[in-house]
Amino acid sequence: MQQRTVKVDMISPKYILLVCILVLLQACTTTTDSDSIERPRITSDSSDPHQFDGVWLVEVKKAAAMQYLPGNYYTNCDSEAYSFPIRVASNVLILGSGDDRGTTTVKESGKFFLRMPLRGKDGTTGEFVRTFDGSFTRKRGSITHGFVEHNMAGCTARFSLRRP
In a domain, 116, yes or no: yes
Distance (Å, whole) CA 77 – CA 72: 16
Q: What is the pLDDT of residues 28-41, one digit of tens each?
A: 555 554 444 444 44
Query: Is 60 exceeded by the pLDDT of residue 144?
Result: yes
Q: What is the pLDDT of residues 47-96, one digit of tens each?
A: 676 899 999 999 999 988 888 888 888 888 887 899 999 999 999 999 88
Domain count, the chain: 1
- Could you tell me the residue range of the domain that residue 148 belongs to? 54-162
> Whole-model pTM above 0.85?
no
Distance (Å, whole) CA 94 – CA 143: 15
| CA quadruple 122, 115, 145, 53: dihedral sign | positive
In a domain, 3, yes or no: no
| Angle 59-86-52 from CA coordinates, rounded to 5° | 100
In a domain, 13, yes or no: no
In a domain, 90, yes or no: yes
In a domain, 98, yes or no: yes
